[in-house]
Amino acid sequence: MLQLTFIRENKDLTLAGLRKRHFANADAIIEQVLSLDQKRRDTQRDLDDTLARSNAKAKEIGALMKTGDKAAADAAKAETAELKVRSKDLEEVLRTTEQQLEEVLVTIPNIPHSSVPEGRTPDDNEVVLEHGNKPDLPADAQPHWELIKKYDIIDFELGVKIAGAGFPVYKGKGARIQRALINFFLDEALKAGYVEVQPPIVVNEDSGFGTGQLPDKEGQMYYVTEDKLYLIPTAEVPITNLYRDVILPESQLPVRNVGYTPCFRREAGSWGAHVRGLNRLHQFDKVEIVRIERPDQSYAALEEMSLHVQSLLQKLELPYRVLRLCGGDMGFTSALTYDMEVWSAAQQRWLEVSSVSNFETYQANRLKLRSKLDGKMQLMHTLNGSALALPRILASILENNQTPDGIRIPQALVPYCGFDVIN
């Protein structure tokens, strides 16, 4: 959530950022925020003045009673009663105004970083770099949804029987390569200095609000009605919320956490060939990296996280590219996002496998996540990234490494799999 002081002191910058995002009615909404903020401050000032007068009058009553001036004391008491009524009225106005202000603020997305390109759609995203050679497969190469049936490693029909579409059953070497990828990603993160955590896979409403999934994305999350809990869409939510309402000692910065969890997304409205097989699921596995940084070091950390994800793709021998997302394609809470896409040789298209984002103070403001730096209490910068999500990684490994003798396993995964070919 944007800070009120930032909006108040940087109105033009705020509006320019919201326009880059193509945020509807930006001018009217910011004017509403500033108007409510002014009303809140005026009401608070009136309330403070009324309470001060009431306290002073109470002391005056005591002095008048001591002198025996009952008439003056009674008049002072009547005035005090009026001040108490006024203070209660002002407290109600203040409470209502603060609530209205909060309701508007949570609808406003983060302000893009200055490097974010203009644009509305994924076609406007900026290609930062492309790495690796695209494999040249024979004409009869198959997409992964055919390969998994050929080698009997993933069963979508069993998943439908048990739960429904989008919940595959991994078996045999399919299950083993899933476990191999998870352990490989975790081990690489530990080598890079991340501390592993194993968080819950359900969160409460406060946690969803803290990282910005609520009230923006409730329609994409599975909800456990009786318990009022949400199945997590990503480990970002529980891991970042470990630090909700926390004042971190400067000595503990930066925070680097990594965690593996299953993730759940309703993906309402998704259909067509682009979501076949592993391309889009309701349940999938993902390893997530989360960082909490000093504000002056967060963008260096973002570049470091991007390089970490790229190193994983290089070790898996997958051709990939890095995109800087344009203003219209960015997530609600992000200030700058890099997407990593791998090349799917059989589908002949790029598949997104990771987003690495800097949220600056947007999440920290909701989380009340702070640290005392240089003698001043400050909101921290939060960052996270997929390192990595498994389904499309597995799809690309299967497609790009198919041979007449089976599917070759990337060398970095062989020690984790215990086999070097699926046949």
Indicate if the pLDDT at residue 227 is higher than 90. yes
Evaluate whether 277 touches 144 at the Cβ level (below 8 Å).
Answer: yes
Q: Are residues 341 and 383 in the same domain?
A: yes
Backbone angles phi, psi at 332, to 5 degrees: -55, -40
Same domain, 99 and 165: no
Q: What is the spatial distance between Cα 27 and Cα 336, in angstroms, rounded to a whole number?
A: 22
CATH code of 96's domain: 1.10.287.40
Are residue 412 and residue 300 in the same domain, yes or no?
yes
CB 111 within 8 A of CB 2: yes
pLDDT tens by residue, 2-51: 999 999 999 999 999 999 999 999 999 999 999 999 999 999 999 999 99
Could you tell me which residues come within 8 angstroms of residue 79 by beta carbon, excluding any fewer than 6 positions away? 57
364 pLDDT tier (thresholds 50, 70, 90): very high
> Are 78 and 209 within one domain?
no
| H or E stretch at 176 | helix 173-191
- Whether 116 is covered by a domain: the verdict is no
Give residue 268's pLDDT. 60
The CA distance from 353 to 284, in Å, is 12
Residue 188 pLDDT exceeds 90: yes
Query: Within 10 A of 379 (CB to CB), how many other CB atoms are there?
Result: 19
Domain total in the chain:
2
> How many residues belong to the chain?
423
- Mark the binding-site residues for ATP, compressed into ranges: 265-267, 352-355
Q: What is the mean pLDDT of the chain?
A: 95
Q: Which residues are annotated as a binding site?
A: 234, 265-267, 288, 352-355, 384
pLDDT at residue number 66:
79
Q: Which two tokens stand for residue 94?
A: 């203040």
Cis-peptide, bond into residue 254, ω within 30° of zero: yes
Given a cut of 60, is residue 273 above it in pLDDT? no
Domain span at residue 180?
122-422
Q: What is the mean pLDDT of residues 374-384?
A: 96
Q: How far apart are CA 81 and CA 96, in angstroms?
A: 23
Residues near 85 by Cβ (< 8 Å), separated by ≥ 6? none
Residue with tokens 């009303």: 39
* Residue 310 in this model has a pLDDT that exceeds 60: yes
389, part of any domain:
yes
Annotated binding site for L-serine: 234, 265, 288, 384
3-state secondary structure (DSSP) of residue 43: helix
